[in-house]
Amino acid sequence: MEIPYTVQNRPDTGIYNAKLGIWLFLASEVMLFGGLFSAYVLLRVGAAPGEWPHGWLNVTLGTINTLLLALSAITTLLAWAACKVRDFGKFRIFHACTILLALTFLGIKSYEYRDKLMHYEIKLNNGKFADGHLVEKSADFDLAKKTGSVTLHGHFVDDEKELADLRSPEAQAAKHGEVVVAATDIKSMGNYGPRHNTFTAIYFTLTGLHALHILGGTLVIFYFWAFGGAMWKTDPERFTNRIEVSGLFWHFVDLVWIFLFPVLYLT
């Protein structure tokens, strides 16, 4: 038994099965990310005045990542074009670039995550806040037993709201240095992980889900890159279709980032 139109276009619809399938899948993905983006909008609109964070993310790293994905979109297209003109060698070169670009993207993303997870906000017993990146915890540091101290590279603020808008002139002017806080002074302490506030929550969720898509796409592309030779020899047209379909997915994942970058980094 053969399923028709697995490789050739059906004449009246002008499309082959897998391409239609991936477009339908992407429609569903649009609704998935659409749901998450509307969650972002509602959370942001519903935030108390002055509490929604600005400038918490590194725009330079975000820009570099945007460029990496834009470049990978080009190499993906070129890889498909190389298949179309039946040049397997070129295909391998271009998709090797795609894979490297994707891995670099994920590397930078992990660095950014690490930066957020190392960043602590400490609520002090005197009502003030200490905020900064963790330098070290003393060996006997134990928050429950109130022993030891923690060292941050950062500063003290009187009001938590001063930490919200890091683009403001006051925040830009703040002096950062080594800050040592004794456990006895600490009321509560937490890093900028997902539970810090709704911004970090939606940031980690959105970018985490996006990173999973990048990872999945990379794995698929790597599979075709490494093990596609057999099908290339027997059925190059079908293989080319596979590259096109996986490429469509890749372009969609890039597109999601094009929305994520301004929404999270620039506003």
Partner 1 sequence: MQSNVQQFPPFREPQPQHAHDSHGHAEHHEPNFWQKYIFSTDHKVIGIQYGFMSLCFMLFGFFLMLLMRWQIAHPGVPVPVFGPLLEKILGQPAAHGAISPDLYNSFGAMHGTIMVFLGVVPLAFAAFGNYVVPLMIGAPDMTFPRINMASFHAFFLGGVVMLVSFFIPGGAAQAGWTSYSPLATTIPTNGQAFWLVGMVLLITSSLLGAVNFIATIIQLRAPGMTWMRLPWFVWAQFVTAFILLLAFPPLEAAGVLQLMDNLAGTSFFLPTGLAVGGQLVDRSGGGSPLLWQHLFWFLGHPEVYVLILPAMGIVIEVIANNTRKPIWGYKSLVYSVLFVGFLSFIVWAHHMYLTGMGQKIATFFQATTMMISVPSVIILTCMFLSLWGGSIRINTPMLFALGFLPMFGIGGLTGLPLGLAAADLYLHDTYYIIAHFHYVVAPGTIFALFAGVYFWFPKMTGRKMNEFWGRVHFWCSLVFMNLVFMPMFAQGIKGMLRRMSDGAVNYSAARVPNAIDALPGSVMQLNGWILWAAIALGIAQIPFIINLFWSIGHGEKVGTNPWSATTLDWQTPTPPPHGNFAHEPQVVRGPYEYSAPGHAEDFTPQDEPESSAAPLTPTAHH
Tokens representing 108?
Answer: 């930078």
Any idea what the Cα angle at residue 42 is, between residues 41 and 48, rounded to 5°? 105
Q: Give the 3-state secondary structure of residue 6.
A: coil
Say whether residue 2 binds partner 1 (CB under 8 A): yes
Q: At what angle do helices 236-260 and 17-46 cross, to 10 degrees?
A: 10
Q: Toward partner 1, which CB reaches closer, 136 or 237?
A: 237
Give the footprint of partner 1 on residues 13-72 (CB under 8 A): 13, 15, 17-18, 20-21, 24-25, 27-29, 31-36, 38-39, 42-43, 46-48, 51
Residue in the structure block whose two tokens are 């017993």: 125
Using CB under 8 A, pick the residue from 88, 238, 255, 264 that binds partner 1. 238
Give least dist CB 46 to partner 1, A.
5
**Residue of 122, 232, 119, 115 lying closest to 188 (CA atoms):** 122
Give least dist CB 28 to partner 1, A.
5
Q: Toward partner 1, which CB reaches closer, 98 or 213?
A: 213
Give the footprint of partner 1 on residues 168-197 (CB under 8 A): 193-197
Task: Write the CA distances from 46 to 38, 51, 220, integer angstroms.
Answer: 12, 10, 39
| Contact (Cβ atoms closer than 8 angstroms) between residue 155 and residue 176 | yes
Say whether residue 7 binds partner 1 (CB under 8 A): yes
Q: How far is CA 60 from the centre of its chain?
A: 14
Using CB under 8 A, pick the residue from 65, 198, 207, 240 that binds partner 1. 198
Binding site for partner 1 (CB under 8 A): 1-5, 7-8, 10-13, 15, 17-18, 20-21, 24-25, 27-29, 31-36, 38-39, 42-43, 46-48, 51, 193-198, 201-202, 205, 209, 230-231, 234-235, 238
